[in-house]
Amino acid sequence: MKSLNLSDGATLAIQDARYARAFSLLAIAGDVSNPERAFPGGVLAVTHRGALVAHKAFGRFTFDDESPRVQPDTVFDLASVTKVAATTAMAMLLCQRRLLELETPVCDLLPEFAIGGPARSAVTVRMLLAHSSGLPAYLKLYEKARSREEMIHMAATTPLECAPGVRAAYSDIGFILLGEILERTAHEPLSDFCQREVFIPLGMGSTTFHPREAAPTLRECKFRHRLIQGEVNDENASVIGGVAGHAGLFACALDVARFAECMLRDGAPAFSPEIVAQFTTRESAPAGTSRALGWDTPSAPSQSGRHFGPRSFGHLGYTGTSLWCDPDHQLSITLLTNRTWPDASSQAIKRVRPLVHDAVVEALGLL
């Protein structure tokens, strides 16, 4: 796992030829002269059958011609990819060790969650992972919360939008609470647990909640009133202290690819095959859900593109990050960008990402 790299010159030449279309799409998407530009910079990493077959950087930190160029080892704010690479990974290990049960009511683990009515007693850990708890997708809790404790209390007492288990609705609030539950269960911070149990064993040397350097994400004018670089972009996670269940993790693309390879190798060396299968299989309820436990699965139209198979799983991040894995083809595609620069207004990544994925799959001849 730790030797996953592209270091041979001939291999680099081969990737430039084989993945020319995917690389071209990314170069154009980051071109400052392109009126439909998607991001200033990014890094693509592709693994296939246990090998790193593509790894390339594009663009600069910002759209300024004098800005530093993105390097293959540039660290990015993973945003909601945190949900799988840290929070879900921790949940998998705690379940594997029988320290956490998916059907346990949230109220049993987080008593303050019971405030607000009897319906909340039906919400389980599984529902938080599967985004079927009935909690809202997002709230600007940071506008009122001034500490981690206040943030957790506000999230825990947030009213449900619908009955538990009725519909799947992606929820940052649910994962804020899940992160707190995991920390109380393990009796240690999410960051410390994941560093010891996931990142170090998998050789994810750049992966951390508090990076020394990273690509910038935003010129923030409404809350923190400064350039956001090397600190979490998400405001709720910022108030929590940068270590949260829903956001806060930073990594380079190669580290995310190492995590993907672990998942594609049935969890070795971190997880059991059974726990990987349990967490990456699409839930049977609520009806129509695309969610697995922590992970998402393809549903047309999907950001994974047109060619990822039905057993595939992945996740997106608000800052322009993504990871998708196809176990049937032993394929992973990691794309890290800072599409939020300078003001988070561009949505062009949604057009570019699936095209890049399709180009990679087609280049590998996996149709």
Instruction: Give mean pLDDT, residues 299-316.
Output: 96
DSSP symbols for 274-317:
HHHHHHHSPPS-STT--B-SS-B---SS-TT-S---TT-EEEEE
Query: What are φ and ψ of residue 364, in 5° steps?
Result: -80, -5
What integer pLDDT is reported at residue 315 of this predicted model? Answer: 98
Q: Give CA–CA dist 320/250, Å, rounded.
A: 13
Q: Give CA–CA dist 4/19, Å, rounded.
A: 18
Model's pTM, two decimal places? Answer: 0.96
Cis, bond preceding 269 (omega within 30 deg of 0): yes
Q: CB–CB of 122/108 below 8 Å?
A: no
Compute the radius of gyration of the chain from its Cα atoms.
20
Quote the mean pLDDT of the chain. 95
Q: pLDDT tens for residues 40-80?
A: 999 999 999 999 999 999 999 999 999 999 999 999 999 99
Q: pLDDT tens for residues 220-261?
A: 988 999 999 999 999 999 999 999 999 999 999 999 999 999
What integer pLDDT is reported at residue 258 of this predicted model? Answer: 97
What integer pLDDT is reported at residue 350 of this predicted model? Answer: 97
Domains defined for the chain, CATH in brackets: 9-82+191-363 (3.40.710.10), 86-188 (no CATH)
Q: Give CA–CA dist 279/268, Å, rounded.
A: 15
Q: CB–CB of 291/131 below 8 Å?
A: yes
Identity (one letter) of the amino acid at 306? Answer: R
What integer pLDDT is reported at residue 169 of this predicted model? Answer: 95
Which neighbouring-strand residues pair with 218? 228
Where helices occur in 136-242 by DSSP H, the ranges are: 148-156, 172-186, 190-194, 235-240
What integer pLDDT is reported at residue 10 of this predicted model? Answer: 61
Q: pLDDT tens for residues 157-199?
A: 999 999 999 999 999 999 999 999 999 999 999 999 999 999 9
What integer pLDDT is reported at residue 9 of this predicted model? Answer: 59
Q: How confident is the model at residue 13 (pLDDT cuts 50, 70, 90)?
A: confident
Whether the per-residue pLDDT at 362 is higher than 60: the answer is: yes
Q: Give CA separation, 148 vs 181, 228, 269, in Å.
A: 14, 20, 33
Of all residues in the chain, what percent carry a pLDDT higher than 90? 93
Of all residues in the chain, what percent carry a pLDDT higher than 70? 98
Contacts (Cβ under 8 Å, ≥6 apart) of 33? none
Q: Give CA–CA dist 77/209, Å, rounded.
A: 9
